């Protein structure tokens, strides 16, 4: 069913592209009702409109808080055109039908990014706008609703195609978009109040996001996937290469989660299937990459490299020697881009503007959502306790912290072996912690040359329930172990460490990553 557009109400915060709308409305002789700044803009552009207060015969009150909340407007928007009683009631009250609502809202989200002033934010919560939009969206069978300048072109096309009418399918589509828009707007406000009240798990939880892109597929070709952002765009930007997949994004964020815990402008992380397979914080950037690669060069093939620094020509030449899916840098110089862009499929990601830390982790299954705060705890000495008789030097203690920091980003059960601030063996994702130890040791023996002088550190993401795992670590050359406390056998583990003459440090916090 097509509906002729005869009367419209326009109330806009974002007045961009309004002229294109005014042109088409003038062409089809649509009467316009408007208010406040929108009315002034319409008249400034040389078009006619009737002020809301004049149309309703009611002045704006409460400093503009009440201006469109009037039955004359809502009766016109919500009336069913084919309902005889509705027609009688409109005629009795001297109301008329409103066929088009063009509204966007006070910029609460934009204001939230520019101020922490609570009163100012509250005044930027729109009431009349969302109410108008919801009313029009509900009555989409008869009323057309536009909530964004992005819709104007399609609206003009539909109006022209139908010679001043809009089609039912188009109105229904706009209704869907309108309810998405109001839900998003309310969820941003809801999230703000939850945060100000420190209520991170309220009784009713809404999660908002803007579509960045629909991906080719999910983890597998038969799965559908898309990526959303809490902002209007991602904090990372793709400079070159093939379109990113679900798995690419998953690996990118896994790499960045580790990179962001490393010293500023220092360190290289290599990830494969969302697991670190090499990490180094050597201050020499080229050596940092080489040492990260040396941890497990086979797994690194086809993986993702995240450089926690700007990528130079020298680094690019080295990166170019093996097949990689993605390279992440805190920027790329021109020479490095020329080199790396020669591989057309290689994705280059600039993460230099990624300043925000993760605030929450969300997973979902079977119509349920699991939420938790991010594991972004910054380690310091007070988080750990040396429990062995042998005490670590400052250098060894720093190495223990490095190993433990990497370990929390490896899927559990996780074991990380390091020396000289570089990983030399990583065991991940095993049901048995002992198996993870064996894998880490096997990797070390396969790819590293270890001398008796080397100080090898082992980190575990949870406590060792038995001495067997520590025993095989020490037999492989480990001389210092860091693990969370909490086992019923902690005293037994300490006694065993002292018997072997190794350093044992307990963390006060556990760091599983499943």
The CATH class for the domain spanning 381-507 reads alpha beta
Active site residues: 138, 273
Residue 65 neighbours by CB distance under 10 Å: 11
Residue 233 clears pLDDT 90, i.e. is over it: no
DSSP H or E segment with residue 276: strand 275-280
Domains 236-350 and 381-507 in one fold: yes
Task: Reply yes or no on whether the pLDDT at 229 is more than 80.
Answer: yes
Mean pLDDT of all residues belonging to the chain: 92
91, 175, 178, 186, 200 from 113: Cα distances, Å: 47, 28, 23, 16, 20
Which CATH superfamily does the domain covering 3-196 fall into? Methylglyoxal synthase-like domain (3.40.50.1380)
pLDDT tens, position by position, 493-508: 999 999 999 999 999 8
pTM of the predicted model as reported, rounded to 2 decimal places: 0.87
181 SS3 class: helix
Q: Cα–chain-centroid distance for residue 265?
A: 23
* Rounded (10°) angle between helices 71-78 and 84-92: 160
pLDDT per residue over 66-88, tens digit each?
Answer: 888 899 999 999 999 889 999 99
Name the more confident of 208 and 486: 208
Assess whether pLDDT exceeds 90 at residue 452. Answer: no
H-type alpha helices, 118-267: 118-123, 128-138, 152-161, 168-196, 246-259
Q: Read off the tokens for 237.
A: 């930007």
Q: Say how many C-beta atoms besides its own lie within 10 A of residue 304's C-beta.
A: 27
- pLDDT > 90? residue 178: yes
pLDDT at 364: 82
Range 3-13 burial, b when 16+ CB lie within 10 A, else e? bebebbbbbbb
Average pLDDT over residues 138-154: 95
Residue position matching structure tokens 């620094």: 309
Rounded mean pLDDT, 178-198: 94
Instruction: Summarize pLDDT for 340-383 with one digit per residue, the tens.
Output: 999 999 999 999 998 766 567 888 888 888 888 888 888 888 88
The ranges assigned to domains in the chain are: 3-196, 236-350, 381-507
Percent of the chain with pLDDT over 90: 73
Q: Does the pLDDT at position 63 exceed 90? A: no
Q: How much is the average pLDDT of 212-228?
A: 93
Taking the alpha carbons of 169, 170, 176, 178 in that order, is the dihedral positive or negative?
A: negative
CA angle 379, 380, 381 (to 5 degrees): 135
**pLDDT reported for residue 358:** 58
Q: Which CATH architecture has domain 236-350?
A: 3-Layer(aba) Sandwich (3.40)
């Amino acid at each position: 069913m097509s509906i002729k557009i005869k009367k419209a109400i326009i109330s806009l915060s974002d007045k961009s592209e309004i002229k294109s709308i005014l042109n088409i409305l003038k062409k089809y002789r649509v009467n316009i009702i408007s208010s406040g700044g929108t009315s002034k803009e319409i008249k400034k552009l040389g078009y006619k409109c009737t002020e809301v207060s004049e149309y309703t015969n009611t002045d704006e009150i409460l400093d503009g808080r009440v201006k469109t909340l009037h039955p004359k407007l809502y009766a016109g928007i919500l009336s069913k055109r084919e309902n005889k009683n509705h027609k009688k009631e409109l005629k009795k009250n001297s109301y008329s039908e409103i066929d088009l609502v063009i509204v966007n809202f006070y910029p609460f989200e934009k204001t939230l990014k520019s101020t922490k002033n609570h009163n100012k934010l509250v005044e930027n919560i729109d009431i009349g706008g969302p109410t108008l939009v919801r009313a029009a969206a509900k009555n989409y069978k008869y009323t057309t609703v536009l909530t964004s300048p992005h819709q104007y072109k399609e609206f003009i096309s539909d109006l022209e195609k139908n010679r001043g009418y809009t089609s039912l399918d188009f109105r229904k589509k706009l209704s869907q978009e309108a309810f998405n828009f109001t839900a998003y707007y309310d969820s941003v406000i809801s999230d703000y109040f939850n945060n100000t009240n420190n209520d991170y798990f309220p009784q009713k939880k809404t999660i908002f996001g803007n579509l960045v892109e629909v991906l080719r597929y999910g983890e597998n070709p038969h799965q559908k996937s898309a990526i959303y952002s809490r902002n209007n765009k991602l904090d990372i930007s793709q400079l070159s290469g093939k379109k990113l997949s679900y798995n690419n994004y998953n690996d990118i964020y896994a790499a960045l989660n580790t990179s962001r815990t490393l010293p500023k402008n220092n360190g290289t992380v290599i990830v494969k299937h969302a697991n670190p397979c090499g990490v180094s914080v050597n201050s020499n950037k080229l050596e940092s990459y080489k040492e990260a690669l040396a941890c497990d060069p086979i797994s690194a093939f086809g993986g993702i490299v995240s450089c926690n620094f700007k990528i130079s020509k020298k680094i690019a030449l080295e990166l170019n020697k093996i097949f990689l899916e993605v390279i992440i840098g805190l920027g790329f110089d021109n020479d490095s881009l020329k080199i790396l862009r020669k591989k057309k499929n290689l994705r280059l990601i600039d993460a230099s503007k990624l300043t925000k830390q993760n605030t929450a982790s969300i997973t979902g299954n079977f119509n349920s959502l699991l939420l938790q705060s991010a594991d972004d705890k910054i380690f310091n000495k007070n988080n750990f306790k040396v429990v062995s008789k042998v005490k670590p030097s400052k250098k060894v203690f720093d190495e223990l912290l490095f190993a433990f920091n990497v370990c929390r980003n490896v899927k559990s059960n996780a074991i990380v072996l390091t020396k000289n601030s570089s990983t030399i063996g990583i065991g991940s994702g095993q049901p048995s912690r002992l198996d993870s130890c064996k894998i880490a040791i096997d990797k070390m023996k396969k790819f590293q040359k270890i001398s008796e002088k080397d100080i090898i550190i082992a980190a575990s993401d949870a406590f060792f329930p038995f001495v067997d795992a520590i025993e095989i670590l020490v037999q492989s050359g480990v001389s210092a172990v860091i693990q969370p406390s909490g086992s019923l056998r902690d005293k037994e583990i300490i006694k065993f460490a002292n018997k072997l003459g190794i350093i044992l440090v307990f963390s006060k916090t556990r760091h599983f990553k499943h």
